[in-house]
Amino acid sequence: MTTTLSRLDDARIIDLNRIPSPRGNLTFIEGSVHVPFPIERVYYLYDVPGGESRGGHAHKSIQQFIIAASGSFDVVLRDGQYSRTFSLNRSYYGLLVPTMLWRELVDFSSGSVCLVLASAHYDESDYIRDWREYVAAVSAPSAGTIA
Ligand code: TYD
């Protein structure tokens, strides 16, 4: 598995199409078209108690696209030195989270739904769940690509 470090600037909001209708709005996402990776997995967080947090890890090679399908929450991204916070509260845009950024999802509004599109199937070995291990990985002198 090759681990590629990302910069905080590589994380970005992607606006999605909206097809409005009096019958309700529609938004669609096609892998490798609206997000820069083939979509291999979809999961969602729901019934998250108001104010609760999730995440607290980095992915070595998996990219994700995070949408507040309903309600709101903040995504705090860290690169080991700096952090950026993105507030997600609409279902027609999402946050592209590239590899090797630490993420925490915080301040969920009650009843919110967090929809996540991922570039690969679930693989526990792709996670870094320990902050100190993460900082060591991104601080390595040759950090950039870790075989
Ligand atoms: P985890 O990624 O730690 O959740 P969060 O970052 O939102 O707090 O996953 C929680 C549990 O669910 C963990 O035991 C792994 C399992 N899981 C799967 O089995 N498949 C998946 O696709 C995901 C995302 C998690």
* 3-state percent helix, strand, coil for the chain, nearest multiple of 5: 10, 40, 50
**Ligand 1, closest atom to CA 122?**
22
Element containing residue 133 per DSSP (H, E)? helix 131-139
> Does the beta carbon of 122 sit less than 6 angstroms from any atom of ligand 1?
yes
Every domain of the chain and the residues it spans: 3-146
> Does the beta carbon of 55 sit less than 6 angstroms from any atom of ligand 1?
yes
The CATH topology of domain 3-146 is Jelly Rolls (2.60.120)
Task: State how far the Cα of 137 lies from the Cα of 6, in Å rounded to an integer.
Answer: 12
19-30 in b/e burial notation, b at 16+ Cβ within 10 A?
Answer: eeeeeeeebebe
Write the pLDDT tens digit of every residue in 108-139. 999 999 999 999 999 999 999 999 999 999 99
143: pLDDT confidence band, cut at 50, 70 and 90? low
Catalytically active residues, by annotation: 57
Task: State how far the Cα of 47 lies from the Cα of 60, in Å rounded to an integer.
Answer: 28
6: pLDDT confidence band, cut at 50, 70 and 90? confident
Task: Return the SS3 of 3.
Answer: strand
141 CA → ligand 1 middle, Å? 31
